[in-house]
Structure 1
Amino acid sequence: MPDRLAPGDTAPAFTLPDADGNQVSLADHLGRRVIVYFYPAALTAGCTKQACDFTDNLAVFAEAGYDVLGISPDEPEKLARFRDKESLKVTLLADPDRQVLTAYGAFGEKTMYGRTVTGVIRSTLVIDPSGKVERAFYNVKATGHVAKLLRDLKI
């Protein structure tokens, strides 16, 4: 199992390219709460549902003081196609070498259809304004996760 982060841990720093190739750092969001969600692949059914749910609730999260970042192992070009095709407003970041996914415990062995495989573990972490992990959710479901997150965070 990959090392998972827990509340109180310092969130690993990162700088990744967004869908347009601009560098985005976790440090850019210091002083705000950040929801960082990790998903397996752009332009797939579950990941599209999850990204659309985050987009639909982006204003609600922003009003409550949260920024939202989605990270996958896709290249920026694929993220741009995903964003444009689905009219996504969430900031999507590319981690093709999976370093950030691994640092956050969101890449490693998982069970899929009864088999053990290595891949992205759909996960969501809430980072507090000082850069510490406030909440960590691993093996989340693509559908209904955003609604559950809104309830858990009392937004």
Structure 2
Amino acid sequence: MLVSLHASPYHQDKPAERLRLLEEHAQDTQLPIVYVNTIGGQDELVFDGGSCCVNASGELQVLAPYWQAGLMPVQLLQTSATVWEPQPGEIDPEVEPEESLYCALVTGLRDYVNKSGFEGVVLGLSGGIDSALSLAIAVDALGPNGCRR
């Protein structure tokens, strides 16, 4: 079994790309892969989580939630003295592209503000749709008391 520890930055379509690559590598090596990805913001990078496990054929067996820290168990069955096969487990539904982008913005802002030690953010609002979206992101990231206008 391969265990792959990652800090793979988010970009749109990353989940599908990641699963395709894991499928190819598992089939090439004929080994199951446990892929562990970090979550959160670090400077200009944002990480989406989405840790998972594929079997030796590249079939998805377990998929952790995107944009949430947590533990996701992977059960292994020993099929011979040297072979361990991951068993089907929880597969969290994939996040829609728009929701994923929104989560990336919220996560990036929250972690940047918190890790920088800022007390909050100051927003200048014009009343347009862009101001409304900026305010929604800030409130979701920092709560209603973390925003000043």
After TM superposition, the score normalised by the length of structure 1 is: 0.24
The TM-score, its normalising length taken from structure 2, stands at: 0.25
The structure, 1 or 2, with the larger RCO (C-alpha pairs under 8 Å, 6+ apart) is 1
Q: Which has the larger strand fraction?
A: 1
Structure showing the higher helix proportion among its residues: 2
Mark the structure with the bigger radius of gyration.
2
